[in-house]
Amino acid sequence: MRVLVCPESFSGGLSAHRAAQVIADGLSSTSADFDIRTIPLSMDDQIIETILAACPGEWREAVVLGEENTSIRVRYGLIQAGTAAVILPHRVSARTFGSPDMTSFGAGQLLKAVLQEKNVARVFWYLPEGTWPVDGGVGFLQALGVSLLDPNGKSVSWAAGSLARLTRVDFRGILPRLQQVEVVVAYPTPAALLGRQGAAWHWGSRTGANLITIERVEQGLSTLAQAIQRTHGGACHTLTGTGAGGGLGYGLALVGAKLRPAAQVLLENLDLLAQIRQVQLVITGQAQTDRQTLPQQIVPSVLRLCQQTGTPAVVLSGSVRPQELETVFNSGAWAVLNTLPSLMSTAQMLEEASTNLYFSAQQLGRLLLLGKKLNPPSVL
């Protein structure tokens, strides 16, 4: 039986890569007849690695501006015979929130480096959760040749706190090569640039910034959005995903990027539909499965692809409510197995996450073998 194992990450520090390997090990321990391929569906720093392993693709490297004005090396990937690039720009440490040197300038440099690849026609930007320079993409835009000017026509600092003097944004010097490529932004949460769910409040609260600092950054982002709207029209800052990456999603939208949910972009980059067509069973998984979390995660997208191809799918879940099972089944799952034994403390659950997941995969393997024994033609 050809099996595709493609889980998300699980709670307790069990990454998608580790979860995929544990499930594969548990399944293969029951029989050598399982032909298993793993594709971890990670929404973390290993996104590019996952895509390049599945496609396949190749690594490239660029030198960009990092924290404290130091140069760093950042890798990106080329896929689809070099016609598409996959980018995860450099993030920052939590202590830089609201500081004057907090900038996305290096992200703009990275895009410029990618666009030197003559065959690249599409660029995929991943902006997963984490700590980002919260400057609304100001540094990114300046690296690409956009001018941010005060009333005297002087350049405004890229620090979000300095944007109070901003009155005009001039795109005339922007890199011409941008007009020749399609840029797709993969955002993990649908937040817009401003507001309590926006870039400043989201990342400021995560890093423990005080209220005064968060409000100062928020005001800078608001000034930026007003200047853009005043000089170029439209309300781009209200678009879903513009708050992603500390507002880098906003800067990308201003240069014509398309903003899309990360799960959709990831599954397309992995060409998961084609991968599913080649197998007889899909095993996916996640930390929690219920009516509230299911629509927002990767697993539902995997199940929809399985429905499209008629491929049976099984979900291994760290936690699932029995009363929610019907919803999950209607989403395309043939079975949902709870990987956590009852009567366990939270500490035990976290400590034994790998063991429990392995045991569940092993039990699934034995059930598949039982099905073969009972009714061979309908199973294998």
CB atoms within 10 A of CB 232: 13
Contact, 64 vs 106, CB < 8 A?
Answer: yes
The beta-strand segments (E) located in 249-312 are 258-261, 281-286
Q: Angle of helix 298-309 relative to helix 262-269, nearest 10 degrees?
A: 50
Amino acid at 208: G
- pLDDT tens over the chain, length 380 residues: 999 999 988 866 688 999 999 999 999 999 999 999 999 998 788 889 999 988 889 999 999 988 777 889 999 999 999 999 999 998 877 667 767 678 899 999 999 999 999 999 999 999 988 788 888 999 999 999 999 998 888 888 765 557 888 888 999 999 999 999 999 999 988 899 999 999 999 888 888 888 998 998 899 899 999 999 988 887 889 999 999 999 999 999 999 999 999 989 999 999 999 999 999 999 999 887 765 554 457 888 899 999 999 999 999 988 777 777 888 888 888 998 888 765 555 556 666 778 889 999 999 999 999 988 887 665 44
Across 290-302, b (16+ Cβ under 10 Å) vs e yields eeeebeebbbbbb
**What is the distance between the alpha carbons of residues 139 and 26, in angstroms, rounded to a whole number?**
47
- Map out the domains of the chain with their CATH numbers: 2-41+271-379 (3.40.50.10350), 47-264 (3.90.1510.10)
Half-sphere exposure of 183 (CA within 13 A, CB side): 23
Q: What is the bridge-based pairing of β-strands 335-338 and 313-317?
A: parallel
How many angstroms separate the CA atoms of 153 and 241, rounded?
A: 31
What residues contact residue 52 under an 8 Å CB cut-off, 6+ apart? 58, 59, 77, 79, 86
Whether residue 100 is preceded by a cis peptide bond, meaning omega within 30 degrees of 0, is: no
Pairing between β-strand 281-286 and β-strand 313-317 as defined by DSSP bridges: parallel
Task: Please state at what angle helix 262-269 crosses helix 47-54, rounded to 10 degrees.
Answer: 30
Q: Is the dihedral of CA 307, 308, 313, 315 positive or negative?
A: negative
Per-residue confidence (pLDDT) for residue 43, from 0 to 100 = 79
Cis peptide before 56 (omega within 30 of 0): yes
**Model-level pTM?**
0.87
Distance CA 373, CA 218 (A): 63
Residue type at 320 in one-letter notation: V
The label of the residue with tokens 């399944």 reads: 27
Q: What does each C-alpha distance from 186 to 104, 283, 369 come to in angstroms? A: 17, 24, 39
End-to-end CA separation in angstroms for the chain: 6
Q: Which of 13, 26, 32, 30 minimizes the C-alpha distance to 356?
A: 26
Check residue 3 and give its pLDDT.
97
The first and second tokens of residue 253, run together, are 């939208």
Backbone angles phi, psi at 213, to 5 degrees: -65, -45
